Amino acid sequence: MADNLSETEIVKNIFGNGDENAGIIEDAFDVRIVLRDGGPVAVSKNEGREAEEGLRDDSEAVAKAQNVLDRLREIAESGDRVTRQMTAYFCDLVSEGGENAVKTYSADVICTTAHGRPLKAKTNGQREYVNAIKKDSVVFAIGPAGTGKTYLAVAMAVNAFRNNEVSRIILTRPAVEAGEKLGFLPGDLQNKVDPYLRPLYDALYDIMGADVYMRNFEKGAIEIAPLAYMRGRTLDDAFIILDEAQNTTHEQLKMFLTRLGNGSKAVITGDITQIDLPPDKKSGLRQIQYILKNIEGISFVYLTERDVVRHELVQKIIKAYEKYEEKREERREERKREKWQEK
């Protein structure tokens, strides 16, 4: 238990603001959360009336809810804040049979931000991602927006840099956006590419601090550049991140991967549902999953809407789009069958 934490503070943390965390658990498992002996406990809504005919057996639901409460208590006792999002995530895991995933969920500190805030993987998918980066030289992280693909990669890069595991950090992304060309933007080349690289700047500022970032940038220990700048180089002793890789072509991704030098690690992130390439160009990130599968030292990590750590509405938005795409694909297939039958 973290020092100086009272039982009242722990219970308050578990229940959340306005008891919202307890409400999430109650709604997820159709149980009641009550305080007994000072701690939160899951009980059946029918408690005391189970013997009455026609009342359902809630023992399984109560056990699942208690599983979530027990894990939340461990987190609260460690001094971490129990969030609404964390509670909902655990409920989803347990509801789908992931009791062991909840029990083994851990939140090891990756690194500390410039403001002293510890950074941790918030979901099991993110933890798998972090472990893959520790283990393998090349890691592909594929998943929707908000799953922490870029931010966690930058955190791991900063951690490796601070521990002298690499001598520099290189961050890059293709300068491809929908409906706008670099030549139409004002300023010199740096001004033109900065908007495309802004998410990488933001992550570095948050984790390293602006002053530390600028000192290392001026020394050449940190480099942020568009993907085209990587051609013809060999990148030794570096942690390299390629962001928005769904907007690379087959040739660009091959060029990037063959830049990897001795003592280097590469993390490639992307969302294959948000490809901004022209219709006649195929995404290299789609193809690479088949080209490099089952190669030792290369990992593919697939994050889902369950790993979204932004506003909870982002999860709902992603699910809504997935359902829309599924229905649209079904309609396409139906039209194909109809045309075939007409012939």
Read off the pLDDT of residues 165-186 as tens digits, 9 standing for 90 and up.
999 999 998 876 544 454 555 5
Quick one: tokens of 226? 């568009």
Quick one: tokens of 198? 């802004």
Contact 132, 301 (CB under 8 A): yes
Quick one: tokens of 250? 């087959």
Residue 245 reports pLDDT greater than 80: yes
What are the tens digits of pLDDT across the range 195-228?
767 878 888 988 999 899 999 999 999 998 888 8
What are the tens digits of pLDDT across the range 273-319?
888 888 888 899 999 999 998 899 999 999 988 888 655 565 566 66
Q: What is the pLDDT of residue 174?
A: 86
One-letter-per-residue 3-state SS of 123-189: CHHHHHHHHHHHHCCEEEEECCCCCCHHHHHHHHHHHHHHCCCCCEEEEEECCCECCECHHHCCCCH
DSSP state of 233: -
**What is the C-alpha to C-alpha distance for residues 152 and 127, in angstroms, rounded to an integer?**
10
Quick one: tokens of 126? 């993110």
Model-wide pTM > 0.85: no
**What is the C-alpha to C-alpha distance for residues 204 and 207, in angstroms, rounded to an integer?**
5
**Count of other CB atoms within 10 angstroms of residue 214:** 13
**What is the C-alpha to C-alpha distance for residues 239 and 260, in angstroms, rounded to an integer?**
10
Residue 99 reports pLDDT greater than 80: no
Residue 242 reports pLDDT greater than 90: yes
**What is the C-alpha to C-alpha distance for residues 266 and 256, in angstroms, rounded to an integer?**
10
